[in-house]
């Protein structure tokens, strides 16, 4: 039996940065270009949604019945709203929005400059694919090991509770992909020996309310909620990671999608030039 303290002691920590204000240059130079996961523990403590997004507000705003995976029974997804979810206390049900977030919700927050997204901001037509999600979950819920959509990078802002992050350095990605079932941990909040005994160990980090985690697109990761949590996450593509996303589309063999991404990348660089 190995508890959470053992796990944290026996693994390397995700970098933390307590800078008070995160500039795009600081982020790109230290984390973005290097693809280095990091937890910003200070710069985003005062995001207004931390106060504004109460259960009452979200119950009125997130009214859509979302498809909730039931990890106890994969054949039976449930369709429930945020308000419905608040009345359920099951560790195998994790609330996650799907589809584009409403304009009302989007107006509640500003995307930090460091994480601007060439895809979401494209002037080439309304983006069809959603890159923003709200998650809410009881202790014991979480996201199974994965790499993010299109191998894009993500920021994840925690509004309430505590999350444990397992982020595998990118150098392990090929080995993990070949043996993914070994890394699909079914979390046991009392005993973390399964993670401690993995051949490739993750970087670990406890994210507290107000912390913002950056996950590079080439890192497999898993998240386990240690308490009731509420979080907002968005994926982004910009000068720091466009080549990985382009590689994803090259590998996918869909020439149409590849040429759209090529165009978005070209426009992104043109905009960067224009800002100089
Ligand atoms: O907070 C979570 O459960 C996971 C977030 C995440 O890894 C993702 O959206 O890709």
CATH number for the domain spanning 200: value is 2.60.120.650
> What pLDDT sits at residue 9?
97
> What pLDDT sits at residue 75?
67
Ligand 1 neighbours by CB, cut-off 6 Å:
133, 135, 142-143, 148, 154, 156, 221, 223, 231, 233
Choose which residue among 157, 233, 234, 235 to substitute to test ligand 1 binding: the one with the highest number of ligand atoms within 8 A of its C-beta. 233
> What pLDDT sits at residue 276?
80
Strands 142-146 and 221-225: antiparallel
CB 187 within 8 A of CB 226: no
Dist. CA 159–CA 271, nearest whole Å: 32
Strands 132-137 and 94-96: antiparallel
Within-domain flag for 15: yes
232: phi then psi, degrees, rounded to nearest 5: -125, 130
Instruction: Tell me if residue 70 falls in helix, strand or coil.
Output: strand
Within-domain flag for 274: no
Number of residues assigned to the chain: 276
> What pLDDT sits at residue 68?
86
In Å, how far are 105, 122, 192, 194, 223 from 173, measured between CA atoms? 34, 30, 21, 19, 17
CB 247 within 8 A of CB 41: no
> CA torsion sign, 250 to 146 to 45 to 14?
negative
Determine which helix (DSSP H) or strand (DSSP E) holds 79, and give its type and residue range.
strand 78-80
CB 131 within 8 A of CB 236: yes
Within-domain flag for 275: no
Tell me the CA–centroid distance for residue 276 and ligand 1, in Å. Answer: 34
Q: Which atom of ligand 1 is nearest to the CA of 222?
A: 7
> What pLDDT sits at residue 74?
67
Dist. CA 30–CA 24, nearest whole Å: 10
Determine which helix (DSSP H) or strand (DSSP E) holds 269, and give its type and residue range.
helix 255-275
124 C-beta neighbours (distance < 10 Å), count: 10
> What pLDDT sits at residue 254?
86
Q: Which atom of ligand 1 is nearest to the CA of 137?
A: 3
* Torsion angle of C-alpha atoms 275, 100, 221, 52, degrees rounded to 10: 80
Number of domains present in the structure of the chain: 1
Dist. CA 168–CA 146, nearest whole Å: 10
Residue 225's domain comprises 4-241
Within-domain flag for 260: no
Dist. CA 139–CA 224, nearest whole Å: 8
Residues in the chain, pLDDT under 70 = 73-75, 125-127
Within-domain flag for 189: yes
Choose which residue among 135, 147, 157, 228 to substitute to test ligand 1 binding: the one with the highest number of ligand atoms within 8 A of its C-beta. 135
């Amino acid at each position: 039996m190995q508890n959470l303290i053992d796990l944290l002691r026996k693994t390397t920590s995700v970098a933390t940065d307590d800078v008070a204000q995160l500039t795009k240059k600081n982020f790109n130079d230290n984390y973005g270009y290097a693809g280095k996961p990091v937890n910003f523990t200070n710069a985003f403590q005062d995001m207004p949604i931390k106060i504004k997004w109460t259960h009452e507000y979200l119950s009125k705003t997130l009214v859509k019945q979302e498809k909730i995976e039931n990890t106890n029974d994969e054949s039976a997804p449930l369709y429930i709203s945020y308000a419905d979810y608040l009345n359920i206390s099951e560790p195998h049900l994790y609330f996650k929005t799907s589809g584009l977030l409403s304009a009302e919700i989007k107006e509640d927050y500003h995307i930090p400059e460091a994480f601007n997204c060439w895809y979401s901001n494209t002037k080439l037509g309304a983006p069809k694919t959603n890159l923003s999600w709200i998650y809410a979950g009881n202790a014991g819920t979480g996201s199974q090991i994965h790499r993010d959509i299109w191998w894009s990078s993500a920021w994840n802002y925690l509004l309430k509770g505590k999350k444990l992050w397992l982020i595998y350095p990118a150098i392990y990605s090929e080995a993990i992909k070949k043996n993914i079932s070994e890394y699909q941990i079914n979390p046991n909040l009392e005993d973390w020996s399964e993670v401690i005994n993995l051949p490739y160990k993750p970087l670990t980090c406890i994210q507290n309310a107000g912390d913002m985690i950056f996950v590079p697109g080439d890192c497999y990761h898993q998240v386990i909620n240690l308490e009731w949590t509420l979080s907002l996450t968005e994926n982004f593509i910009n000068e720091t990671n466009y080549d990985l996303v382009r590689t994803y589309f090259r590998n996918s063999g869909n020439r149409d999608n590849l040429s759209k991404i090529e165009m978005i990348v070209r426009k992104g660089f043109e905009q960067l030039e224009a800002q100089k």
